[in-house]
Amino acid sequence: MNETFTRYRRVLAGVTDVVERMPADQWNSPSPCPGWTGFHVLGHIIDGQRQVAALLSGQGPREPLRDPAEAVVGPPVTAWSGALRSMLEVLGATDPNSRVASPHGEVTTEWVLSTAVIEPLVHAWDLAQAGGFEASLDGEAVEACLKAVAPMAEQFAATGMYAPALPASAQAEPWQRLLALLGRGTA
């Protein structure tokens, strides 16, 4: 089994853990993402999986929804279960070495997942924050994302999709350093 695909599946399992633990009365609570509730974050995760699936299946890039909450049809747990099932089917049918069209040109499906993993990883934490509890982030995925993000934190912030990096203490855990690089305080 391909390590990148396995890591991606573990991160999706982490999202499932957070979604299942989310108190029903917290879906409309604010998240660390400005202007977004837990409901919006879940919709963004679901829509992101649809975008990744489109790339992996060779359909090419897919535009994100303007309002991510539109991706949550029905109860949130049910909406996520359906999105997860679809994504796992796509992952099972995808050759890690096949090449697909992406916004970055032709890339391997393994490359797609190695770059896309940051979204469900970080947004699982955002969703847990909206729910008022802590999420445990996959350590291997955190390390991989930390290596990719650390040299480019300013570029991430310049996209407007991430807040400017925050300082992290020398004693910070890797997941805290990653979140700080993406403008999220964990203290």
Based on the domain organization, do 119 and 48 belong to the same domain?
Answer: yes
Which pLDDT band holds residue 134 (cuts at 50, 70, 90)? Answer: very high
- The more confidently predicted of residues 80 and 153 is 80
- The more confidently predicted of residues 7 and 154 is 7
Based on the domain organization, do 79 and 162 belong to the same domain?
Answer: no
Based on the domain organization, do 85 and 146 belong to the same domain?
Answer: no
Based on the domain organization, do 11 and 88 belong to the same domain?
Answer: yes
The continuous run of DSSP H or E covering 108 comes out as: strand 105-108
Rounded average pLDDT over 12-32: 97
Overall domain count for the chain = 2
Predicted TM-score (pTM) of this structure? 0.94
Q: Which domain holds residue 170?
A: 138-187
Rounded average pLDDT over 146-151: 88
Percentage above 90 pLDDT, the chain: 82
Least confident of 58-72, 121-135, 147-161: 147-161
pLDDT at 85 over 80: yes
- pLDDT at 187 (0 to 100): 58
**Is residue 167 left, alpha or beta, with left meaning phi > 0 and alpha meaning psi from -120 to 50?**
beta
Based on the domain organization, do 181 and 115 belong to the same domain?
Answer: no
- Measure the CA–CA gap between 87 and 181, rounded to whole angstroms: 28
Q: In sequence order, what are the residues at sequence separation of 6 or more whose Cβ sits closer than 8 angstroms to the Cβ of residue 184?
A: 32, 122, 125, 126, 163, 166
Based on the domain organization, do 45 and 99 belong to the same domain?
Answer: yes
The CATH number of residue 69's host domain is 1.20.120.450
Based on the domain organization, do 62 and 153 belong to the same domain?
Answer: no
Rounded average pLDDT over 59-85: 95
CB 37 within 8 A of CB 29: yes
Based on the domain organization, do 144 and 83 belong to the same domain?
Answer: no
Q: Which of 111, 133, 155 is the last residue of a domain?
A: 133
- pLDDT at 158 (0 to 100): 79
Return the sign of the alpha-carbon dihedral for residues 33, 182, 4, 59: positive
- Measure the CA–CA gap between 156 and 177, rounded to whole angstroms: 15
Of 123, 135, 133, 106, give the one whose Cα is nearest residue 161: 123
CB atoms within 10 A of CB 20: 11
pLDDT at 186 over 80: no
pLDDT at 50 over 80: yes
Output the CA–CA distances (angstroms, integers) from residue 166 to 1, 56, 182, 184, in the order listed.
36, 33, 8, 7
